[in-house]
Amino acid sequence: MPPLRPDDASRDWASDRQKGRAMTGGSRRALILDRDGVINHDSGFVCRIADCHFIEGIFPLAAAFTARGFAIVVATNQSGIGRGYFGEQDFASVMDWMKSEFAARGSPIAAVYHCPYHPTAGIGPYRRNSEWRKPKPGMILQASADLDLDLGRSWCVGDKARDIEAARAACVGTKVLFDPAGGPLARWNDYWVVPRLADIIALLAQHEADHENEKITKINGFLTMSADYQAVGPDDEL
């Protein structure tokens, strides 16, 4: 299957209808990854397999999310195509190889979305504003529609502010900024900042544990309410 991209870049992918569907319609959780700077080191417009070097911890990260039933999705700005630095086929070749590397480790990539356009540096038809270009949420919303995602329970990992902005605009539940040069794991506003990809696995484990505790608390609360109801039931009949 060729890489997915919008048939009509002028389409309003961030419409309220689309957002509403993205937020409420899906059932599957996803780990939505930026590519350059998250999956592979960003040496600048990576377009050859020989220049693609994986970042330490990316495969354990994918494995941890795959084990919990998350779909692995890649959403990546690729204005190098629009700028004329490399072609769609170069990108497709790198991604075919990357997908095979993930699949071989038991964490297949469910879908890849890329935006080749750039509003000022694109050449010819590639010079345009696109709802798919981050910080806009088009790629994430399209992934949600295609894969029946529950974005509120999904995670997004990027290395740039625009990755976080796109995830926020798509109402992704957990947003993580990967900053290898930054300080220790920290919470900023509505997103996490981590210096290592392994930190995200720890965050996931904590998140899942908190969720389980929340469920247990709710069940206990319900049982207590039920017991109270039974206790007062006969009095109500008097």
Structural contact between residues 158 and 125, judged by C-beta atoms closer than 8 angstroms: no
Residues within window 95-154 making contact with Mg ion, judged by CB under 5 A: none
Q: Which stretch binds Mg ion (CB under 5 A): 30-38, 98-106, 118-126, 127-135?
A: 30-38
Q: How many CB atoms lie under 10 A from the CB of residue 186? A: 13
| Residue 120, Cβ density class (10 Å: 0-12 exposed, 13-18 middle, ≥19 buried) | exposed
How many residues contact Mg ion, by CB under 5 A?
A: 4
Helix 198-236 to helix 58-67 angle (10° resolution) is 20
**Best CA proximity match to 154, nearest among 37, 59, 65:** 65
Tell me whether residue 110 or residue 164 sits nearer to Mg ion (CB atom).
164
- The DSSP output letter for 129 is -
- Among 18, 26, 31, 34, indicate the residue that binds Mg ion (CB under 5 A): 34
Tell me: does residue 52 bind Mg ion (CB under 5 A).
Answer: no
What is the smallest separation between the CB atom of 227 and Mg ion, expressed in angstroms? 53
Query: Measured at CB, which residue is nearest to Mg ion?
Result: 37
36 is catalytic: yes
Using CB under 5 A, pick the residue from 37, 80, 116, 138 that binds Mg ion.
Answer: 37
Point out the residues that are catalytic.
34, 36
Residues binding Mg ion (CB under 5 A): 34, 36-37, 159
